[in-house]
Amino acid sequence: MTKFYKIALPAVFLLALAALAITGYNKPAAEKAVSDAALYDQLNIFGEAVDMLRAGYVEPVDSKKLIHGAMSGMLSSLDEYSQFLEKSEYEELEADSKGEFGGVGIEISIRDGILTVISPIDGSPAEASGIRPGDKIIKIDKKATEGMAISEAVDMMRGDPGTAVTLTIWREKGDKVSDVLLRRAMIKTKSVKTSEMLDNDVGYIKIVEFQENTARDLDEVLAKLEKSGMKALILDLRNNPGGLLDTASDVAERFLKKGSVVVSVKSRVSDDSEVFRSSGDFTRPYYPIVVLVNGGSASASEVVAGAIQDNKRGKILGVRTFGKASIQAVAPLKDGSAIRFTSAYYYTPGNRLIKKDGIMPDVIVESDDKDIGSGAEEKARDDKNDIQLKKALELMHGEISPQG
């Protein structure tokens, strides 16, 4: 597949949404008129409120700050992933897509009103400190995060390498609260983190994020492992927070037969809904596969896991995934700011919407918890006590026939 759907959809989709706003989403004329009248009534009320604040607030009001604040509230009222981005935040988002920034290396979301860790980025200060998926960040540098927007939390955790930030972490399991001092670093994300033979038959590949070149990089390491005699593959997507939807589809189709459904995208605009199918052009040999997942496997990772599971192509092993089934569009505004909003949901080949539920593994294997702030890194291939990896190897050896 050549075009790139992101977890933020492309400009063509945004133009379609703009057209909907103008045309009233093809509603009958009478219904559209009622809808437009109601909208204009509410906008008039909003205008009244702005006028009152400009005229009567105790101090002079910055109109831009007032409107931006209103847009921030408007977006955050929709769901935990929609948000207003100031110009600097939008520029930062653009920089993030290049895979390099200064910070502590945590993907975050809001769950049940609480700032929650989706996943620590592989090799980051957050991972080294023992922060885990599902941990709650209740304070940043002693400032409570209750009611804090994701953009503000990210801004507080970003900074120059070498500078420090203290996170107060609450881990529900064990009801433990800990202050964790982190030194910011330059976070560089390399998509295919590890590829090696674990023994004479089983290959191991860890993907930490789905970037533009991930499928190409995967082809290279698969070819090397196959040349080394790989007869089965363990694909590690633990703590992989996602990335590009198109790339996830491209990765999944490496393991699926031609015509297999990879994922379906469904929006309010029927013309912009799409079913992704494997082209069959890149399908690898049909060896056994185990995909490792955990609570930090989200978004694009869940696309791959769902495609493997629903097509009965391999086994999913670990614990339930994060459950992010939404796609965000990012639309720049005239003043350099932008809005990011949920524009579609994606469904697994079995037509499952995994929103909040995540993907339940075929083989459930819990991992050992590590203490927060212990400095112990969660690197699967280096950890002799990695129970999930051990179980995956056992499954692989049972799948490989004596003839190979």
Catalytic status, residue 173: no
Residue type, 244: L
108 contacts: CB under 8 Å, gap ≥ 6: 115, 116, 117, 118, 137, 150, 153, 154
- Give dist(CA 113, CA 247) in Å, integer: 31
DSSP string across 222-244: HHHHHHTT--EEEEE-TT---B-
CA distance from start to end of the chain: 31
Cα 210 from chain centroid? 9
Catalytic residue among 310, 315, 367, 386: 310
DSSP string across 100-157: EEEE--EEEEEETTEEEEEEEPTTSHHHHTT--TT-EEEEETTEE-TT--HHHHHHHH
319 contacts: CB under 8 Å, gap ≥ 6: 293, 294, 295, 361, 364, 365, 366, 367
DSSP string across 301-325: HHHHHHHHHHTT-SEEEES------
376: tokens are: 């112990």
Catalytic residue among 301, 324, 343, 367: 324
Q: Residue 280 in 3-state DSSP?
A: coil
Q: Which residues on neighbouring strands pair with residue 187, listed in sequence order?
A: 101
Catalytic status, residue 109: no
Catalytic residue among 124, 151, 191, 299: 299
- For residue 96, the surrounding DSSP H or E stretch is helix 87-96
| DSSP β-ladder status, 326-332 and 136-140 | unpaired
Catalytic status, residue 324: yes
Whether residue 4 contacts residue 212, with contact meaning beta carbons closer than 8 Å, is answered with: yes
| CA proximity to 258, closest of 234, 237, 236, 277 | 277
| CA proximity to 311, closest of 263, 355, 271, 369 | 263
Catalytic residue numbers? 299, 310, 324
